[in-house]
Amino acid sequence: MQRFLFGPEEEGLHEGEMSASSSRELAQLFEQAKECHNCTLAASRLNVVFGEGNPFAEVAIIGEAPGAEEDASGRPFTGRSGQLLDTMLHTAGFSRQELYICNILKCRPPGNRNPLKDEIRSCMPLLFEQLQIVRPKVILILGKVAANTIFENRLSLGAMRGTMKAWRGFDCCSTFHPAAVLRNPHLKKEWMEDMQLMRDHCETIGRKKNARENEN
């Protein structure tokens, strides 16, 4: 089994150096991922859809798996769901460039079926590695499949959304997948509430950090 693991975290670096170091580590990880044959999806993929964005992002977004457009382009959320995601993020005051966007699976499941357990098991170490490099303050999880995978439960999205939940040291907010919002535009209201929750949480974290720095 291929391992996605890099050296010890670098300490004592300035923000610019950290960012350069994160970019380098992500690029190395991507090179490794391109060679991945840990599950059968390697045989049918056109591209490994590794993930992209700000290597030093405060907010990371995790979707489910690439679709046909993403498989062809090699980039996450470039199809119809991605266009809606961009619009909704923009409305909520976020730009795609400031975020880091990736998926649970890096390769497209045939016919866009749900990820299988073996595929998830093979791909999760890569996601952990990405998150350890980017170290976002907050993670936005898109859709029931991604949220069930991360929290290892079978709850409905309705039961999971609307609150921040800790996972492996990250503060996470689950919300509807843009594909679900495309099917049911009424979900936009809840989506925006979840964005506001995430934004408020980022601000609270920022305030606490400032208070700590002022104390020292």
Q: By the criterion CB under 6 A, which residues form the site for ligand URA?
A: 63-67, 70, 76-77, 79, 81-82, 103
Number of Cα atoms under 13 Å in the Cβ half of residue 74: 6
- Rounded to a whole number of angstroms, the minimum distance from the CB of residue 81 to ligand URA is 4
- Rounded to a whole number of angstroms, the minimum distance from the CB of residue 11 to ligand URA is 33
- Rounded to a whole number of angstroms, the minimum distance from the CB of residue 28 to ligand URA is 22
- Rounded to a whole number of angstroms, the minimum distance from the CB of residue 108 to ligand URA is 9
| 54 or 103: CB nearest ligand URA | 103
CB-nearest residue to ligand URA: 63
CA dist., res. 6 & res. 197, Å (int): 33
| 82 or 136: CB nearest ligand URA | 82
CA dist., res. 191 & res. 6, Å (int): 35
- Rounded to a whole number of angstroms, the minimum distance from the CB of residue 122 to ligand URA is 17
| 65 or 187: CB nearest ligand URA | 65
φ, ψ of residue 172 in degrees (nearest 5): -120, 145
| 79 or 136: CB nearest ligand URA | 79
CB 87 within 8 A of CB 191: no
CB 122 within 8 A of CB 38: yes
- Rounded to a whole number of angstroms, the minimum distance from the CB of residue 54 to ligand URA is 17
CB 76 within 8 A of CB 70: yes
CA dist., res. 183 & res. 122, Å (int): 30
Strands (E), the chain: 52-53, 59-63, 100-103, 138-142, 164-167, 170-175
* Token digits of residue 71: 């498989």
Between strands 164-167 and 170-175, the pairing is antiparallel
| 95 or 204: CB nearest ligand URA | 95
| 81 or 149: CB nearest ligand URA | 81
